Structure 1
Amino acid sequence: MADVVQYRLERMLDELEDLEKRGIFSRTEIAEIVKKRRNFEYKLKRPSPLKQDFLSYIDYEKHLDSLRRLRKKVVSQDLKEQGIKKRKKKSSSDIAGVLRILGIFRLAVTRFKGDIHLWFMYLEYCKERGHGRMKKILPQVLRFHPKVPGVWIYAASWEFDHNLNVAAARALMQNGLRACPDSEDLWVEYLRMELTYLNKLKARKAALGEDSGALTRKEDVDDKQWRDENKDLFMSLDGEKEGVDGTGVKEGESGNKKDTFREQGSVILETIYNGAIEALPTSMSLRKRFLEVLDGIDLAHSEELKKKMMDGLKRDFGNKAEYWDWLARLQIGDLEKAKNMSKKDMLCQLNKAVDIYEEALESMPSTEVFSVYTNFWKDVIAPKGEDSQVFELADISDESVEFTSRLFKVFEKAESMGCITEDLTYHHISLYLELGRLEEARNLAEKFSNGKLSCSMKVWVLRVSIEMKWVTRESASLGKDDLRSVFGLLQNILSKVAISEAESLWHMAVEFFSNQPKYFKKLVEIFLVFLTKENEGDVPLSSAIVNYVHQKDGLQRAREVYKRFVATPHPSLTLYKNCIELESNLAFGGDKNALSNARKLYESALTTYKEDRGLWRDYYSMEIKMGTSKTVNAVHWRAKKILKDTTELLVSQNP
């Protein structure tokens, strides 16, 4: 290994001498460079080099080459000021850095052939440096990763944009589609490439004065972002009918040529679209992306093509709520671009979207349709935010009451058609709460929790929280009847479900009654009964109750409670650790009984969790800090007997 590293360092001699001779680096700096490179080379030559070793070496060489170029400019400027003619011929040091980085990349991808990210880093560096090795690397990537669509797109883009070889780019895309027929990106990029090529042909004709205009999207106020993302793709065929000299072109003279390009574009799109839906018949998103492309260009028979696509979408996806939701929101999507539309027209567009949802309910009444329908209205009503899809209707404040009323009608319709769900009910009740209509929310929650959704924890949690707000709406102080009412409600539902299913309700109850000793005690007793009866495993609520008792009633009461919890059939390890932490902290503070209690807890925990290494480690650590040599050795001997290997225990104490 040392011979190989030495050989590689000796090959750098000419480069380093040239750097010193030209005054770019000093002898001291070169010595430091050699030292760094030697360390990196040794790392690469070890039996199992890491990917990070290669990346660190590459990063170092990139920074070094950047520094070399900067210093070279400074040296050249100094020579110019001194009147010395600058040498234009490149020396060995000018190309050695790039070659070394490429060599390290080659070694890295040879070692980690399956790392696609590393291959792309290699390709990007070749592209950045304009190195001819790209044409050798691309076939290698395609050979090792034929199932990665991004590789085919990258290779085709290189051929199309850099080598200007449309035939090769087309062949790569078609081979990619054979290898990855289920890739949406490949189908869409293939279409974009073909239309871009057609656009270039059209632009060339226009530049030669044989045609006017090009394939572009129709002008729109809000198209800037779309143009930025697709700036080299499409220009409109029905743009200004002017020649290259600005003179008008007669419609009859250019019409046939224009129609030829528009017809070709239409045929290309239809052909690729048919192939795409044949390969991916169940992909709705792919068809939506094709529609976006079609909306962005001007082709012959574009309306007919769009109608065909829309009919196909309805035929194949008309039984899915996602389709109807997209179709309805498409009406509002057009509205976003109409900045000067009147209030009346905006509401008209909104009503069109509503009609689509109603049509969906007639053809396929389901919970999914009601879910997207209610989400639509919530998006219309909700204030504008980063993550909300609000459709520029926030300014129509006069209509907000009507919109809310219509949303309530959708909820009521879902109930009447038997399509009510837990989520719909939750949002229905939550809407009343958001509007400050607490009594109506309370009545609705009571109705559903005692009726169709009596087993829904989500609805029960909401109902209990509403009841708690109801009894404290006028005063923070609670009357006996209020306390009795809330406790009875909680007792009723908590007695029907397992602790793990109603954990959030238990937490609410513990927090609500934490200042009511009488009811809190009853709650703990109920919890203990269920804990014993159900033989629950890891229940974090036990620890929460111990902490509440410790804060409110003091240490002695907390010890009484956790001892009762520990005495249940299967106390959780989380409870043990929480109680041990409580006693350990007290022992550090000087409590005489705390250390003894902590040991008892450890011993109790180890009867159930004797194979838990973390428990033994914590026990051993506590004895190291607060015990005697006798207790430390005793714990270590027992741990070694059970775990066999106690290296982890000793290492953790010697950081």
Structure 2
Amino acid sequence: MADTVRYLLEEMVPELEALEQRGYFSRQEIKAVVQKRQDFEYALKRKAAMREDYLRYIDYEERLEELRASRRSSRSISGKAGLAEFCIVRRIHFIFERATRKFRGDLDLWSRWLRFCQRTRSSKQMSKVLTKALQLHSGCAALWTYAAAWEFESNLNAGAARALMQRGLRMCKHAPQLWHEYFRLELLYALRLRERRRVLGIGAGDDDGIALGAEESEGGEGGDEAAAAVAAVLNGAVALVVYKNAIAAFPASVPFRAKFLEILAPLHFPGRASLEEAIYDSVAADFGGSAEAWDLRARRHTLGLPADAPAASRAAAVRAAVGVYEQGLSAVRTPEMAGLLLTFLQQQAAALDAAANGSANGEEGRQRREAAEWLRQRTQEAFEEAAADGLLTEALRLDGIAFFLHCGDAHAAAAAARAGTQALPQSAALWQQLLALEAVLAAEQLGGSSAPAGKQQGSGGSEESSDEEELPLAPAAAAANLAATAATATQHSSGAAQQRLEETALAALQAVPAAEAVPVWLTAVEVLCAGSCSLQALAQQLVQSALRQSRGPVEGGLGAVAAVLLAAVHRAGGIAAARALYRALLPLPPPGGEFFRTLLHLEADEQAAAAASSAAAQQAGSMAAAAAPLSDRQLTELFEAATDAYGAEDAQLWLQYAEWQASRGGPAADGAAAVYWKARKVLRRPEEFEAAYHLRFKLQPGAMA
């Protein structure tokens, strides 16, 4: 190994001398470079040489070359380029060659080498590297594309680029991106030919007038045929042939064909319209039963519209697109097709809103309002038609509710939610929307809260919409926003409305599967509490649900519901009502850790409040009648029951237990240390509890004993 390294170092002598003679590096710097290279060479010659060793060596040499280049300009080194100017680049190529010889299958190394060749303009080396890489990785489509692009853009050799693409297609038969890049190559070549003819002064206008079929050749002269052939090439006839071969290779993919349209979109030449027409015709012929294909064909009418297009132009394009969607619905009556139409209509409405720049006056403002009204009506009709045909999925029904709210029609939104819960009774999201909407309508019936019903989504419903008008929210966000609005609105609801809300909540909880019912529970509690409704029925339903389920999780699940409902019952009926609820739940499988933490918090607060009021009453000489707090023994039993159920997982429960023990004062406060040691034994991961315990009490547990 040492002999090999010494031989390699001896080969560096001429180039190092050249670097010193040219003034790039001093004698001391040359010695440092030699030492560094020797270390790298020893690393490469060991038996377990790693890829990172080569990369570190290459990185060092690249930085050395950057230093040489900067010193050439800073020290004004001039003269003909010689060995000193290219020796470091040559050495980097040598290191890359050794690395790829050892790690032949590493495509990243090959790509690094190719990028280095391009960066240093090493054209001959680039050709050699590409040849080696393609021999070893003939199945890599990206390499064929890179090689063809280099030939076309750097060497200006369209023939070689075309040959590489064709060979790549033979080697990578299952690579659709190669067809796309070949199509792009032929289009760019046609554009290059057109530009060359323009620069040379050849009449491009005559060629533009000749169609791809060249039907105007009257006498069948050879010159006319040649001109027609040239015009066909300039107008993209070769690219059309590539497209036809591509769809023969991949006949069953709409996105594959749509990619050709994306490639065509930024290019502008006379044959573009003919190519697009051919692609759309092939999609129509081969995918008559595909909703995705109908969507592609319909959106064709709006693809070229700029963001600030006049309202009249946008309206005409949208009407044409909707006509295609209607044809698609006649041919393919599926929820997917209906969803594509509804998505398109809402996107166009959003684009129309975004195009409004504050002024809605004059003819343009009138046309914009008319277009917006037509879109609103057509979207409503589309929802109604899809509902009548049974094409609405849960997501589409939620979109419909959001759309009606965006239009300011809470009654229509509630009707859509009712219809949705009847069609899909197990949908938690639809029941959440219905609960919130029922609360809003209950407030609206009183006559004083109609504004929230019409404006909760920021739409209004007036003909003129402001620039800040929000779009329909996503279903989850809309449910949360609507529930918050409903919580405020139901504070004014009547007795009949309260009963209707309670019945709706119970119906929702009975219909939705228990595994998905937690969001419905939380919405129901929030709405009923805000509407001052009775929580007795919800409490009974919760007990029944807890009876049917197994042990709940530490966080979330039915335990979160029980915690929220317990706190609500305590606010409404005091500690006696809360005790009635949690005592009904305690004999059942534990619903969750949050339930225990909430009830213990309520009882601890009740005990502390009772002690404070008792001390105040003794000073005043009177006693106030109140529910008796739990004794220390009873509360300890509750803590022990909670830790028996969730002590192995819930560190916060142990911390709450220790804080209560410490708050008792006197000798009883020593129980916090006992809780600490017990928690360390019971918890699977006591680290979180230990950190929180020490932070809370600011001392070691032994100091409390």
The answer to whether TM tops 0.5 is yes
Write the deviation string for residues 391-445 of structure 1: whole angstroms up to 9, x where unpaired.
xx99813432231121111000001112121111101111122233334323332
Shift in alpha-carbon separation, 1:125–1:429, aligned structure 2, 3 A: same
Q: 1:90 aligns with which of 77, 82, 96?
A: 82
Shift in alpha-carbon separation, 1:312–1:419, aligned structure 2, 3 A: same
Q: 2:179 aligns with which of 183, 187, 200?
A: 187
Aligned residue number for residue 75 of structure 1 = 75
Q: Higher mean Cα deviation, 543-552 or 514-523? A: 514-523
Aligned residue number for residue 231 of structure 2 = 262
The code of the aligned residue for 1:397 comes to: R
User: Is the contact made by 2:662 and 2:670 (CA closer than 8 Å) also made in structure 1?
Assistant: no
> What is the CA-CA distance between 1:184 and the residue it aligns to?
2.9
Q: Higher mean Cα deviation, 12-21 or 432-441? A: 12-21
User: Is the contact made by 2:501 and 2:528 (CA closer than 8 Å) also made in structure 1?
Assistant: no
Aligned residue number for residue 612 of structure 1 = none
The code of the aligned residue for 2:405 comes to: L
Q: 2:283 aligns with which of 313, 320, 327?
A: 313
CA distance in 2, matches of 1:405, 1:169: 54
Aligned: 1:170 with 2:244: no
User: Is the contact made by 1:237 and 1:258 (CA closer than 8 Å) also made in structure 2?
Assistant: no
User: Is the contact made by 1:442 and 1:463 (CA closer than 8 Å) also made in structure 2?
Assistant: yes
Aligned residue number for residue 421 of structure 1 = 393
Write the deviation string for residues 212-249 of structure 1: whole angstroms up to 9, x where unpaired.
2289xxxxxxxxxxxxxxxxxxxx8359xxxxxxxxxx
CA distance in 2, matches of 1:134, 1:330: 42
The code of the aligned residue for 1:494 comes to: L
Q: Report SS of the residue matched to 1:347.
A: helix
Write the deviation string for residues 326-375 of structure 1: whole angstroms up to 9, x where unpaired.
21111122444995x6x545433222111111111112221111101000
CA distance in 1, matches of 2:36, 2:527: 64
Q: How does 1:635-646 map to 2 (within 5 A)?
A: none
Aligned residue number for residue 58 of structure 1 = 58
Aligned residue number for residue 212 of structure 1 = 203
CA distance in 1, matches of 2:543, 2:651: 19
User: Is the contact made by 1:583 and 1:597 (CA closer than 8 Å) also made in structure 2?
Assistant: yes
Identify unmatched segments of 5+ residues in structure 1. Answer: 78-85, 216-235, 240-251, 387-392, 607-614, 630-655
CA distance in 1, matches of 2:49, 2:659: 46
CA distance in 1, matches of 2:670, 2:405: 52
The code of the aligned residue for 2:601 comes to: G
CA distance in 2, matches of 1:458, 1:203: 59
CA distance in 1, matches of 2:604, 2:505: 24
Q: Report SS of the residue matched to 2:204.
A: coil
Q: Report SS of the residue matched to 1:396.
A: helix
User: Is the contact made by 2:679 and 2:686 (CA closer than 8 Å) also made in structure 1?
Assistant: no
Shift in alpha-carbon separation, 1:555–1:347, aligned structure 2, 3 A: closer
Aligned residue number for residue 249 of structure 2 = 279
Aligned: 1:466 with 2:437: yes
Q: Higher mean Cα deviation, 365-374 or 38-47? A: 38-47
User: Is the contact made by 1:203 and 1:214 (CA closer than 8 Å) also made in structure 2?
Assistant: no
Shift in alpha-carbon separation, 1:152–1:581, aligned structure 2, 3 A: farther
Aligned residue number for residue 126 of structure 1 = 117
Aligned: 1:403 with 2:394: no
The code of the aligned residue for 2:650 comes to: Y
Q: 1:554 aligns with which of 601, 604, 626?
A: 601
The code of the aligned residue for 1:461 comes to: Q
CA distance in 2, matches of 1:418, 1:7: 82
CA distance in 2, matches of 1:110, 1:533: 67
TM-score normalized by structure 2? 0.67
Aligned residue number for residue 353 of structure 1 = 321
The code of the aligned residue for 2:113 comes to: Y
Shift in alpha-carbon separation, 1:361–1:592, aligned structure 2, 3 A: farther
Aligned: 1:576 with 2:650: yes
CA distance in 2, matches of 1:142, 1:278: 26
CA distance in 2, matches of 1:511, 1:562: 28
Aligned residue number for residue 102 of structure 1 = 93
> What is the CA-CA distance between 1:320 and the residue it aligns to?
1.2
Q: Higher mean Cα deviation, 474-483 or 490-499? A: 474-483
Q: Higher mean Cα deviation, 480-489 or 457-466? A: 480-489
The code of the aligned residue for 1:65 comes to: E
Q: Report SS of the residue matched to 2:280.
A: helix
Aligned residue number for residue 144 of structure 1 = 136
Shift in alpha-carbon separation, 1:383–1:271, aligned structure 2, 3 A: closer
CA distance in 2, matches of 1:188, 1:369: 27
Q: Higher mean Cα deviation, 33-42 or 137-146? A: 33-42
Q: How does 1:214-363 map to 2 (within 5 A)?
A: 237-238=208-209, 258-264=227-233, 267-291=237-261, 296=267, 307-336=277-306, 343-363=311-331
The code of the aligned residue for 1:417 comes to: D
Q: 1:366 aligns with which of 311, 325, 334?
A: 334
> What is the CA-CA distance between 1:583 and the residue it aligns to?
6.1
- In the comparison of the two structures, how many residue pairs are matched? 568
Write the deviation string for residues 242-273 of structure 1: whole angstroms up to 9, x where unpaired.
xxxxxxxxxx9997654221234565234322
- Give identity over the alignment, percent: 28
> What is the CA-CA distance between 1:454 and the residue it aligns to?
0.9
CA distance in 1, matches of 2:195, 2:534: 82
Q: 1:505 aligns with which of 490, 512, 520?
A: 520
CA distance in 2, matches of 1:282, 1:572: 58
User: Is the contact made by 1:199 and 1:214 (CA closer than 8 Å) also made in structure 2?
Assistant: no
Shift in alpha-carbon separation, 1:376–1:207, aligned structure 2, 3 A: closer
Shift in alpha-carbon separation, 1:358–1:50, aligned structure 2, 3 A: same
Q: 1:452 aligns with which of 401, 417, 423?
A: 423
Q: Higher mean Cα deviation, 18-27 or 396-405? A: 18-27
Q: Report SS of the residue matched to 2:516.
A: coil
The code of the aligned residue for 1:399 comes to: A
Aligned: 1:161 with 2:153: yes
CA distance in 2, matches of 1:29, 1:528: 83
CA distance in 2, matches of 1:331, 1:56: 54
TM-score normalized by structure 1? 0.71
Aligned residue number for residue 454 of structure 2 = none
CA distance in 2, matches of 1:158, 1:438: 61
CA distance in 1, matches of 2:31, 2:603: 70
User: Is the contact made by 2:180 and 2:260 (CA closer than 8 Å) also made in structure 1?
Assistant: yes
User: Is the contact made by 1:328 and 1:356 (CA closer than 8 Å) also made in structure 2?
Assistant: yes
> What is the CA-CA distance between 1:500 and the residue it aligns to?
3.4
CA distance in 2, matches of 1:276, 1:348: 34
User: Is the contact made by 2:647 and 2:654 (CA closer than 8 Å) also made in structure 1?
Assistant: no
Q: Higher mean Cα deviation, 29-38 or 111-120? A: 29-38
CA distance in 1, matches of 2:25, 2:286: 69
The code of the aligned residue for 2:249 comes to: A
The code of the aligned residue for 1:138 comes to: L
CA distance in 1, matches of 2:420, 2:30: 79
Q: Report SS of the residue matched to 1:382.
A: helix
> What is the CA-CA distance between 1:149 and the residue it aligns to?
1.5
The code of the aligned residue for 1:540 comes to: E
User: Is the contact made by 1:331 and 1:349 (CA closer than 8 Å) also made in structure 2?
Assistant: yes
Aligned: 1:534 with 2:506: no
Shift in alpha-carbon separation, 1:430–1:422, aligned structure 2, 3 A: same
Write the deviation string for residues 467-506 of structure 1: whole angstroms up to 9, x where unpaired.
4555678557577957776555444433444543233334
CA distance in 1, matches of 2:38, 2:602: 63
Task: Determine which structure has more spread, i.e. the larger CA radius of gyration.
Answer: 2
Identify unmatched segments of 5+ residues in structure 2. Answer: 211-220, 355-363, 450-487, 564-592, 606-634
